[in-house]
Amino acid sequence: MKNLDLSYSDARDILNALLKKIPLVKDIHGPLTLGVAARTVTGKEKLIREGYFIRDLSDLSIGG
């Protein structure tokens, strides 16, 4: 969870960094769904269509 307003590019950068870290975590098996939660995420719908779990504060009924 980031207390930030993320652009599409920022969110993709975070997701790509997570993707690189997955092999470093022991005992992760099977398919994973990566995601980001932030104050707002520009391009949220596009990221969701790409298969990511994306939420912003309005989705969580927190502010926004």
Is residue 61 situated within a structural domain?
Answer: no
pLDDT of residue 2: 67
Structural domain range at position 47 = 2-56
Identify the band that residue 57 occupies on the pLDDT scale cut at 50, 70 and 90: confident
> For the chain, what percent of residues have pLDDT higher than 90?
62
Contacts 24+ apart (CB under 8 A), 9-18: 11/36, 11/38, 11/41, 11/42, 11/43, 11/47, 11/52, 11/54, 12/47, 15/47, 15/52
Query: How many structural domains comprise the chain?
Result: 1
Is residue 48 situated within a structural domain?
Answer: yes
Is residue 62 situated within a structural domain?
Answer: no
Indicate the average pLDDT of the chain: 90
Is residue 40 situated within a structural domain?
Answer: yes
| Mean pLDDT, rounded, for 23-35 | 87
Is residue 64 situated within a structural domain?
Answer: no
Identify the band that residue 40 occupies on the pLDDT scale cut at 50, 70 and 90: very high
